[in-house]
Structure 1
Amino acid sequence: MLTLHADSRGRCLAVRGEWIAAVGTLEELIATHPQARVRQWPGILTPGLVNLHGPELLEQAYHPDPREADTLGTEPLTGDALAALPMDEARWGAGARRGVQRMLANGTVAVAGELRNRAVVAAVRRSGIGVVGRLGVPGGVPALDPFASGVPVEFPPERESGSAARFAVFDVLDEDELAERGGGSCVATVVAGRIVYRRR
């Protein structure tokens, strides 16, 4: 089934399965695809964000289960706090899944860096989030919101017909406001044609 995702500026992506079928204005795509389902989002459509600190956030940090909040808190554990935890593959995989979900909630559609932990690799692969290469270790501070890392934010290439259906919508007026408000303004993230995060 074809789904039209449109933003408040009238920009629209037609999604069929895991791919972008067409790009245009909502008016244009409704005219050419009158039977399509329409999703209208507040804010702006973007190709999503790339988090440059993939290994640091998923293999050098543990994202606690909410049921562990009383003892471990809610923020990622690193360094000595991580070293004190008994970690096995199951725990690494579960932590990575929670970390990826928090990334998706910030509009991240891909992480940069080589992942080597088998449980983490499996969790990332199942999520559908992309993995891209990087040169060396980026500066800044690893953060689930790429805008909070202190380094320039990277975006994937613009979506076009034939691109993977991977993008994010932010409830802002424009890119300048997005830079000010950061990933917390994300209202929806789409990966492999599926809405994997939607703000309630």
Structure 2
Amino acid sequence: MLTIHADSRGHALAVKGAWIAEAGTLADLVAAHPGARVREWPGILTPGLINLHGNELLEETYHPDPREADELGTEPLTGDALAALTMDDARWGASARRGLQRMLAHGTVRVACEELRNRAVRDAVHRSALAMGRLGRPGGTPALDPYRSGLPVEFAEPRERHSAARFAVFDVQDEAELAERGAGTCVATVVDGRLVYRRR
């Protein structure tokens, strides 16, 4: 089934399976595909973000389970706080899945990382369908929000006809407001045509 995703500016993408079938205005795409499902989002459609700190955020960080909030808090744990935890494959895998969900909630469609050494983390990333790849370690500060890393923000490939349906929607008026307010404004993330995050 074809789905049209549109933003507040009237920009729209027609998605079929894992691919973008067409890009254009909402009016034009609805006219061309009268039977399509239409999802209208507040804000702007973008190609989605690349998080440059995959290894640091997934293999060197623990993302607490909400049920651990009383004991560990809700913020990611690194350094001595991580070293104090007893970590096994099951716990690493669950942490990586939560970390990936938090990345998706910040409009991430690609995670840049060197080869993942932790099998449980590697399995979680492969199941997420997020694209991977990186040479060397970037500078900056590892952050779920790429706008808070101190590095230039990188976006995935432009969204055009026959390209992979990987994009995000941020509840801002334009790119300048997105840079100012950050990726916490994400309302939806689509990876390979699937809506993998939607803000409630």
> What's the TM-score once normalised by structure 1's chain length?
0.97
Secondary structure, aligned partner of 1:24: strand
1:122 aligns with 2:107: no
2:86 maps to which residue?
86
Displacement, 1:149?
Answer: 0.7
What SS is found at the alignment partner of 1:9?
coil
State the partner residue of 2:7: 7
Query: Hey, what's the Cα distance between the residues in 1 that align with 2:19 and 2:118?
Result: 29
Measure, in 1, the Cα distance between the counterparts of 2:156 and 2:91. 30
Rounded to whole Å, the distance in 1 between the matches of 2:169 and 2:175 is: 11
Which residue does the alignment assign to 1:181?
A: 181
Matched with 1:60 is 60
Deviations 1:117-166 (A, max 9, x none): 11111111112222132x32111110010101111110011111111111
Q: Distance in 1 between matches of 2:27 and 2:103?
A: 32
The alpha-carbon deviation at position 5 of structure 1 amounts to: 0.3
d(CA) in 1 for partners of 2:7 and 2:95?
33
Q: Give the count of matched residue pairs.
A: 199
TM-fit CA distance, 1:2: 0.1
The one-letter code of the counterpart of 2:136 is G
State how far apart, in whole Å, the 2-side matches of 1:167 and 1:117 are: 28
Q: 1:132 aligns to what?
A: 133
Within a 5 Å distance, the mapping from 1:150-165 to structure 2 comes to: 150-165=150-165
Segments of structure 2 that go 5 or more residues without pairing to the other structure are none
Offset of 1:40 from its aligned partner?
0.7
For the aligned residue pairs, the C-alpha RMSD in angstroms reads 0.9
- What secondary structure sits across from 1:151 in the alignment? coil
The amino acid that maps onto 1:36 is A
How far apart are residue 18 of structure 1 and its match? 1.1
Q: Does 1:196 align with 2:196?
A: yes
Please give the secondary structure, in 1, of the residue aligned with 2:55: helix
Q: 1:45 aligns to what SS in structure 2?
A: strand
CA distance in 1, matches of 2:77, 2:196: 24
Cα offsets for 1:77-123 (capped at 9, x unmatched): 11111112111111100000000111111111111012221111111
**Identity value in percent:** 75
Quote the Cα distance in structure 1 between the aligned partners of 2:118 and 2:15: 33
Q: Distance in 1 between matches of 2:106 and 2:178?
A: 11
Query: Which digits, 9 at most, give the CA deviation of each residue in 1:59-90, with x for residues without a partner?
Result: 00110111111111111111111112111111
